Structure formats: structure tokens, C-alpha cells
Amino acid sequence: MANRQETPDDPLRFIKRCLGERKIFWTYHVNMRLRGRYISREQILDAIESFEIIEEYPKDKYLPSYLIYAESEGSPIHILVAVDVPNDNIRIVTAYHPSSKEWDKGYRQRRQLK
């Protein structure tokens, strides 16, 4: 049986390739959240060139996942992407507009709680 927690050698390249080849599963959760957060699938797909991994969760519950910083239409968005290396696809878990209360300027690093 394949190791479900297998991480790609180059996670960002793997994510971008899967997006480009449309090897994507949109989770129920993200489908429920996108409309309320005014983010479209097209915005996520169109922002691919600005993708940066800002956090890694290699031991996430089901699959390794990565928090992606991206810019869409001049605004920052965060996208949580799980990678399924054995099956050569990704899952978009959620996406949101980061809050300046939780994230430092630039939205790439969490604020330190005092």
C-alpha cells in the first residue's frame, strides 16, 4: 500500500503542475466557503504565478498539506492545498482572505500572540 503521507520533492512545482493539468479535487469544505468569502475557482487558478508556500503541514490528518500565499486581483489570498503524491493530484481544502489581525504585513507570517 502506498504511503499516504508522501511529500513531493518540490511541493510548489507539484502543486502548480497539478493545477495546470487540472488534477484537482475541490473539497466539499472549499466549495461551501468560496461563495461566502467572495473567492472564485478562477481566481485561485489565475493566481498560480504568485503562489508561495508559507506554511507546511507534512503530517496533516489525511494528506500532507501546504498553506499557499497568492495574489488575486491585487488582493492576498491564502489557499490550503493537500497533496496526494501516490495518486498524482491535489485537493483544494480551503481558501480565504487573510486578516491583518492574524497575519503580519505581507500576509506571509502569522503574528506572534502576546
What digits encode the pLDDT tens for the residues 6-58? 999 999 999 999 999 999 999 999 999 998 999 999 999 999 999 999 999 99
Sign, CA torsion 74/51/103/66: positive
What digits encode the pLDDT tens for the residues 59-109? 998 999 999 999 998 999 999 999 999 999 999 999 999 999 999 999 999
Q: How far is CA 97 from each of CA 54, 68, 108, rounded to the nearest angstrom?
A: 14, 12, 12
Examine residue 1 and state whether it is found in any structural domain, yes or no.
no
Backbone angles phi, psi at 28, to 5 degrees: -55, -45
CA 99 from centroid of its chain's CA atoms: 16
Examine residue 81 and state whether it is found in any structural domain, yes or no.
yes
This model's pTM is above 0.85: yes
pLDDT of 112 above 90:
no
Q: If we measure between CA atoms, which residue out of 83, 59, 61, 72 comes closest to residue 10?
A: 83
Number of domains in the chain: 1
Examine residue 55 and state whether it is found in any structural domain, yes or no.
yes
Examine residue 89 and state whether it is found in any structural domain, yes or no.
yes
What CATH number is associated with residue 57? 3.30.2310
Which residue range forms the structural domain that includes residue 81?
11-96
Q: If we measure between CA atoms, which residue out of 86, 75, 90, 105 comes closest to residue 22?
A: 90
Examine residue 111 and state whether it is found in any structural domain, yes or no.
no
User: How far apart are the C-alpha atoms of 61 and 12, rounded to whole Å?
Assistant: 20
